[in-house]
Amino acid sequence: MGLTYVTAVFFLGVVVQFFLVGVGLFGMKHGATIDNAKSLDPHRGLGWILSEFGAILILLLALIAWPQRKLLGAWTLLAVLAFVQAPLASSGYHHKWLGMFHPVNAVILLALSGRLAHYAWTTGRKTSAVEAAPARSPSA
């Protein structure tokens, strides 16, 4: 059950990250660069929380819920991609060919976390709805 909530919060955090980077880039002061723009600090701070704490928490909860979850590999991939996001951003300052994968990875994180959150919320509800339905007798 914890994995359901953590995945949903992670997905919402990724959505917020897209807004924060937009505000940060368009709110840069004249003469500022991406390296020293204070307007990008909220994006950096939330990104660090998601990529460090979020990735570890998702991985731990996925391993705890392993016997009940079919998509353990997808949750593991989400955790690994989240963890890699921060190094992609920091390496992009010096190597544009590595940094270009930071936004691509963000889109993958958005899609994968959204899909896993949807799966986590709907899977348990389908089985409980089927179990709660009354049995019908065949009519002649």
The answer to whether the CB of 75 falls within 8 A of the CB of 58 is: yes
What is residue 115's predicted lDDT score, i.e. its pLDDT?
95
User: What does the pLDDT average to over 17-38?
Assistant: 91
Q: Phi and psi dihedrals of 137, rounded to 5? A: -90, 145
Evaluated on CA atoms 100, 59, 44, 22, the torsion sign reads positive
| pLDDT single digits (tens) 59-103 | 999 888 776 667 788 989 999 999 999 999 988 888 889 989 999
- Tokens (6 digits) for 14: 């990724």
Q: Domain limits of the chain? A: 2-28+39-118
pTM, rounded to two decimals: 0.82
133 against 37, higher pLDDT: 37
